[in-house]
């Protein structure tokens, strides 16, 4: 019976195994800058290997982590709304108010919860390095599970903000104003602004391996920039627009269009089709040259071994 159970576990693990060069060769790429052709390749490999781990995670683990992230993102609306009320009329209040936007990102990223826009670069690099149906299927599974979990979490947070007796009328009015400011955008503007926020989030993820102890500073600066630029983000924006839906200000259909679909498409374009593609392209030649050098070294080693055997 134990043997059968082990066999089932092995089969399940194989079903969600990412296709990669390391697995084919049975060895892992060493993340040592001196052994890799460039610093950019070292960062690429660090993020790609993190992406492989995420792709292979259990779907339910991803789902619950994504729900937690959606709930945590409610902190962005919460902080921004409170700051809006407390800083009303204060010179430079706009800058500090938008600092509230960073709170949700700090919680989600430092707590290692699943955020959809992080995965537009992290989960994509393994697919770009080894394109195939297995890796593409795993990426699609990850995106679907995480996005669904994020939206459920944001909906719960927005419902709680509206229906629980927590906030005064001024703060509730601030929540409505924040959401309506997002809805002033046309679908085209939602899409264009989301490209910028997707690109900034992807840039932030690319900076993490080099950030070290300054990681939280990177999160604050990059996400504050998203807020200051008044861009759109599928997860933070979902909290804001769900609040309007539960408040009765908007109909459900308006969450889907003009907000969710254009914003989602823009975030994916900015994070995947612009940043991840360019980041992968810059190290592609380094990777090809490294593989050629490895193949040449192995061939020379085999020749030496063959000569030694002949003697």
Rounded to the nearest 10 degrees, the angle between the axes of helix 59-86 and helix 234-247 is: 70
What pLDDT score was predicted for residue 225?
Answer: 97
First to last CA, the chain: 52
* Among the listed residues 239, 264, 279, the one whose alpha carbon sits nearest the alpha carbon of residue 117: 264
Cβ(118)–Cβ(47) below 8 Å: no
Which residue carries 């939602």 as its tokens? 190
Domains and CATH numbers, the chain: 37-280 (1.20.1080.10)
The token pair at 16 is 């969600």
* Among the listed residues 124, 148, 150, 152, the one whose alpha carbon sits nearest the alpha carbon of residue 138: 124
In this structure, what are the phi and psi dihedrals at residue 19, rounded to the nearest 5 degrees? -80, 125
Which residue carries 């009320």 as its tokens? 85
| Count of C-beta atoms within a 10 Å radius of residue 101 | 24
What pLDDT score was predicted for residue 80?
Answer: 96
The token pair at 164 is 């629980």
Report d(CA 270, CA 194) in Å as an integer: 7
Report d(CA 280, CA 129) in Å as an integer: 8
- The three-point CA angle 237-76-109 to 5° equals 95
pLDDT tens-digit readout, 92-132 = 899 999 999 999 999 999 999 999 998 888 888 888 888 88
| Count of C-beta atoms within a 10 Å radius of residue 218 | 18
* Among the listed residues 168, 147, 165, the one whose alpha carbon sits nearest the alpha carbon of residue 238: 147
What pLDDT score was predicted for residue 12?
Answer: 44
Burial class of 43 by CB neighbour count within 10 A (0 to 12, 13 to 18, 19+): buried
What pLDDT score was predicted for residue 10?
Answer: 42
C-alpha 191: how far from its chain's center?
A: 18
Report d(CA 187, CA 210) in Å as an integer: 36
C-alpha 143: how far from its chain's center?
A: 9
What pLDDT score was predicted for residue 41?
Answer: 72
* Torsion angle (degrees, nearest 10) of CA 15, 18, 24, 30: -140
Per-residue pLDDT of the chain (311 residues; tens, 9 = 90+): 444 444 443 444 445 677 665 555 555 555 555 555 566 677 777 888 888 899 999 999 999 999 999 999 999 999 999 999 999 889 989 999 999 999 999 999 999 999 999 888 888 888 888 888 999 999 999 999 999 999 999 999 999 999 999 999 999 999 999 999 999 999 999 999 999 999 999 899 989 988 889 999 999 999 999 999 999 999 999 999 999 999 999 999 999 999 999 999 999 998 887 777 776 666 666 665 666 656 666 667 777 777 666 65
Burial class of 117 by CB neighbour count within 10 A (0 to 12, 13 to 18, 19+): buried
pTM for this entry: 0.83
* Torsion angle (degrees, nearest 10) of CA 3, 62, 136, 209: -110
What pLDDT score was predicted for residue 5?
Answer: 44
pLDDT tens-digit readout, 28-53 = 555 555 555 566 677 777 888 888 89
CA distances from residue 81 to 66, 76, 195, 227 in whole angstroms, order as listed: 23, 8, 25, 13
Report d(CA 152, CA 154) in Å as an integer: 6
């Amino acid at each position: 019976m134990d043997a059968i159970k082990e066999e089932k576990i092995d089969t399940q693990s194989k079903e969600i195994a990412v296709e990669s060069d390391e697995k084919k060769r049975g060895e892992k790429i060493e993340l040592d800058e001196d052994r890799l052709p460039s610093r950019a390749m070292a960062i690429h490999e660090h993020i790609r290997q993190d992406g492989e781990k995420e792709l292979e995670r259990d779907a339910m683990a991803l789902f619950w982590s994504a729900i937690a992230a959606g709930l945590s993102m409610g902190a962005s609306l919460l902080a921004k709304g409170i700051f809006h009320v407390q800083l009303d009329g204060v010179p430079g209040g706009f800058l500090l108010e938008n600092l509230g936007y960073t709170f949700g990102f700090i919680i989600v990223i430092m707590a290692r919860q699943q955020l959809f826009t992080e995965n537009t670069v992290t989960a994509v690099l393994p697919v770009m390095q080894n394109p195939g149906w297995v890796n593409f299927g795993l990426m699609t599974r990850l995106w679907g599970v995480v996005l669904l979990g994020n939206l459920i979490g944001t909906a719960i947070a927005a419902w709680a903000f509206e229906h629980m007796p927590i906030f005064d009328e001024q703060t509730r009015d601030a929540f409505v104003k924040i959401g309506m400011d997002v809805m002033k955008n046309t679908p085209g503007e939602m899409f264009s602004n989301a490209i910028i926020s997707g690109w900034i989030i992807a840039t932030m993820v690319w900076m993490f391996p080099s950030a070290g102890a300054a990681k939280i500073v990177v999160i604050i600066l990059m996400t504050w920039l998203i807020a200051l630029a008044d861009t759109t983000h599928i997860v933070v924006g979902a909290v804001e627009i769900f609040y309007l839906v539960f408040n009765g200000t908007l109909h459900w259909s308006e969450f889907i269009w003009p907000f969710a679909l254009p914003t989602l498409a823009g975030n994916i374009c900015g994070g995947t089709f612009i940043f991840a593609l360019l980041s992968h392209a810059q190290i592609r030649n380094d990777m090809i040259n490294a593989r050629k050098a490895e193949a040449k070294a192995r061939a020379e080693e085999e020749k030496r071994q063959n000569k030694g055997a002949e003697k």
